[in-house]
Structure 1
């Protein structure tokens, strides 16, 4: 039962954290193919930096503040993505 509850809680989060990058790559591939390698590089850098900074922020400010920072980042990425589509 605990495993099922864990899956129900984690699945929506995993979906929304995992889908924007492939969707963005597909959009970028159709509009500016030359930027796709840059997108992979930025993603790799942000993944490493985010893990380090996330750990530091969680310890120093708490998980609530870290979650607000993450939500802000995803919101800004969505705004930028929406402007690129137009």
Structure 2
């Protein structure tokens, strides 16, 4: 389960960065919204899966409420999931 969550958090982080730095400029600078729809849909699925998996990992990793809050907040901060993986998952 830990490996699955690590992979999921990596993919969620990459999809978020793609939205911020690739598809949003395509949409708003070059008026091409299609990549945003495709990557946005994938990111939405990955984001929800990340939240569910984080909640499932809480008891498995023995996280307190503060740690869970940090792990969940990392999903909305650019590069946050990569930091979270290093801080909370890599040494588990």
Question: In which range does the TM-score fall when normalised by the shorter chain?
Answer: 0.3 to 0.5
More helix by share: 1
Tell me which of the two structures has the higher relative contact order, counting C-alpha pairs closer than 8 angstroms and 6 or more residues apart.
2
TM-score (norm 2): 0.41
TM-score, normalized by length of structure 1? 0.43
Task: Please say which structure displays the higher CA radius of gyration.
Answer: 1
